[in-house]
Amino acid sequence: MLTVDGLTLGYGGQPVLADVSFTLAEGEALALLGRNGAGKSTLMKALIGFIPLATGRILWCENDISRWPPFRRARAGIGYVPEERRIFADLTVAENLATGLRTPDPESPLPPWDIARILSLFPALTALLNQRGGAISGGEAQMLAISRCLLGQPRLLLLDEPAEGLAPMIVHDMIEAINLMRAAGLTLLLSEQMLPVAHACAPRALVLGGGRVQAAGAMEAVLEDRALIETWLGV
Ligand SMILES: Nc1ncnc2c1ncn2[C@@H]1O[C@H](COP(=O)(O)OP(=O)(O)OP(=O)(O)O)[C@@H](O)[C@H]1O
Ligand SMILES: [Mg+2]
């Protein structure tokens, strides 16, 4: 469904990543691993179209979307939940959710998301619907950011460090929600620094380091490569 082919990109002519390639089949989950500054968020921003490519191309459902603006990629089914979550502080949780709502594409093979389905995925949001976005916890804001994105009816979800800064119990809930999204047929690309979280969410991993892809393959095989994870993940 997604083919990333030889991407080189960065900021202001300074490359951050070179020659990044991978593919994602429908319904697959892939974890992007790498230390702080490895380029995980940069790659996600390039996939949604916030950063132009220096070289390479991105194919989505057989279309070359490399030069499409972000709104067109979103409309074509790519959802993006940024690391910084970007909740509207002055809107209520319900109003925040409403900003993401899009009419489902009748051709989509995935069941549509509505508020009831969102609240069964994240029951903690039920009691918060009338609360201001600025007055909820970090974990609740992460649930809200993901929910708002799901209401846009994506087929691929780009999740940038969904468990970052969450309390251990909330991390557990987040892993469970991510696995429910996978079970519902969503394709996932998630960046993660916590290896146990990545392991619990994705059967495949891609390790970024030194501006390139250092390894890609089955999660178990990547995590068993001690030299690799010591060098590139600092574990
Ligand atoms: N807006 C920007 N302008 C210039 N350089 C940037 C910008 N954003 C990020 N960078 C640089 O690009 C590199 C990759 O950053 P990026 O945020 O993609 O890493 P990351 O893997 O997401 O790290 P983290 O785990 O800390 O979120 C870093 O060297 C960073 O300093
Ligand atoms: Mg990041």
Q: What is the CATH number of the domain that holds 15?
A: 3.40.50.300
Q: What is the pLDDT of residues 187-226, one digit of tens each?
A: 999 999 999 999 999 999 999 999 999 999 999 999 999 9
Q: How many domains does the chain have?
A: 1
Decide whether any atom of ligand 1 lies within 6 Å of the 34 Cβ.
yes
Burial class of residue 218 (count of CB atoms within 10 Å of its CB; 0-12, 13-18, 19+): exposed
Scanning 76-213, the segments in alpha helix (DSSP H) are: 93-100, 115-121, 138-150, 168-183, 195-201
In sequence order, the 6+-apart residues with CB closer than 8 A to the CB of 122 are: 143, 146, 147, 173, 177
- Which domain covers residue 160, as residue numbers? 2-233
User: Per-residue pLDDT for the chain (235 aa), expressed as one digit of tens each?
Assistant: 999 999 999 998 889 999 999 999 999 999 999 999 999 999 999 999 999 999 999 999 999 999 999 999 999 999 999 998 899 999 999 999 999 999 988 888 899 999 999 999 999 999 999 999 999 999 999 999 999 999 999 999 999 999 998 999 899 999 999 999 999 999 999 999 999 999 999 999 999 999 999 999 999 999 999 999 999 998 7
User: Which pTM does this prediction carry?
Assistant: 0.95
In sequence order, the 6+-apart residues with CB closer than 8 A to the CB of 226 are: none
> Best substitution site from 40, 50, 190, 214 to test ligand 1's pocket, by max atoms within 8 Å of Cβ?
40
CB atoms within 10 A of CB 213: 22
